[in-house]
A and B are shown apart, each in its own frame.
Chain A
Amino acid sequence: MAISAAAQAPYRAPRTADGKPDLNGIWQTTTTANWDIQAHGAAAGPVFSLAADFAVPPGPGIVEGNEIPYLPAMLDKRKQNLANRFKDDPEIKCYLPGVPRATYMPYPFQIIQGQKNILISYEYANAVRNVDMGKPGPAPVDSWMGWSIGHWEGETLVIDVTGLNDKTWFDRSGNFHSDALHVTERYTMRGPDVMMYEATIEDPKTFSRAWKVSVPLYRHVEKNAQLLEFKCVEFAEELLYGGLRKKGTGPNAVK
């Protein structure tokens, strides 16, 4: 269920010294959207021995209208991704999560708000985005975290994200996109410690129309709030390279 900003009087956030809404801080969602951005019930997880520890938790989803308008030609790939999600999800390999997924993964991120740039640094895999607040021109290449250009519209930071490659998923259940993806993010303070995040998804190669996700971001208010180091690359090494190691070595070696 999306909370519409128009339903209440717009909150006027405290300002930074240069008169902009102050979005500085450490933020995190509480949603289970990283498992599935649509409404979903609980389900068994992929590892039998981890049982309830790694079961899939339920969630009401973050997609406005709960419908992802795949083009008919894309539905097969959707089915295939879903069936192979515990193998093909790029998050398993600690790959960079792309936008908007990085926002609603269950890890904090920090906004460092300057004038010429706003840095968004994510705890997950040191993912980082430089939001250029000027006019840097188009993305020269595609990247995992995209090419972000920001500007202010009243209380809202609007970030235009292009140059995204086609290798990320929107969640662990296989929702995907092409390299034509264009994301428009809107960050709006809703109260002193809550921000509304909306992302409009446009991808004419994959979807029949634009669609939107929206989810609240909550400020980490604890005094010792801090992003810590979550370097997951080496956790995925055996999965990625184990088949190429010398026989008799490594964590699964039979000596």
Chain B
Amino acid sequence: MKKIAIALAALGITLAAAPLWAHHSFAAEFDPQKPVKLTGTVTEMEWINPHSWIHIDVKGPDGKVANWMVEGGSPNALLRRGFTKASLPAGSQIVIEGYQAKDGSNRANGRDITFADGKRLFLGSTGTGSPDEKPEK
């Protein structure tokens, strides 16, 4: 088992540098210095590739409504599970945490997306969603 543990540690290191992210350099798109938390009403969800996009109307502190675009994942795995374009109807209230686009436009990455009651939007994480979680040693 020790050999496997060592192998997995190597695997863990490999995973962190895995080319999974290499196709799309997200840090060039969003600004880690600009965290946002958006509470708003869905106007439309684009079930498209390479990334889905959720459009929401967000009421600012000044009462003005701004439309934001939030980047999500490819919807294909959701579609295989039976979700459809009707699964997130316009009018749904959701909360998004992420970072704002570097160019200052109303775009954010959908790092955490929940309904107003805290329930996750589509699928629950498989146990490793905690921000404090570290890879296995």
Residues of A within 8 A of B (CB): 140-142
B111 within 8 A of A: no
B122 within 8 A of A: no
Main secondary structure of the interface of A (DSSP, over half): loop
Chain B interface residue count, Cβ-Cβ cutoff 8 angstroms: 7
Q: What's the least CB distance linking B52 to chain A, in Å? A: 10
CA of A142 to CA of B75 in the docked complex: distance in angstroms? Answer: 12
A140: chain B residues within 8 A (beta carbon): 79, 82-85
A142: chain B residues within 8 A (beta carbon): 47, 85
Of all A-B residue pairs in the complex, the 8 with the closest CB atoms, nearest first, are A140-B84, A141-B47, A141-B85, A140-B79, A141-B79, A141-B84, A140-B85, A142-B85
B47: chain A residues within 8 A (beta carbon): 141-142
CA of A141 to CA of B44 in the docked complex: distance in angstroms? Answer: 13
CA of A141 to CA of B47 in the docked complex: distance in angstroms? Answer: 7
CA of A141 to CA of B77 in the docked complex: distance in angstroms? Answer: 13
List 7 extra interface pairs beyond A140-B82, A141-B84, CB under 8 A.
Answer: A140-B79, A140-B83, A140-B84, A140-B85, A141-B47, A141-B75, A141-B79
Q: What's the least CB distance linking B69 to chain A, in Å? A: 17
Q: Which residue of A lies closest to B52 (CB)?
A: A141
Q: Which residue of B lies closest to A142 (CB)?
A: B85
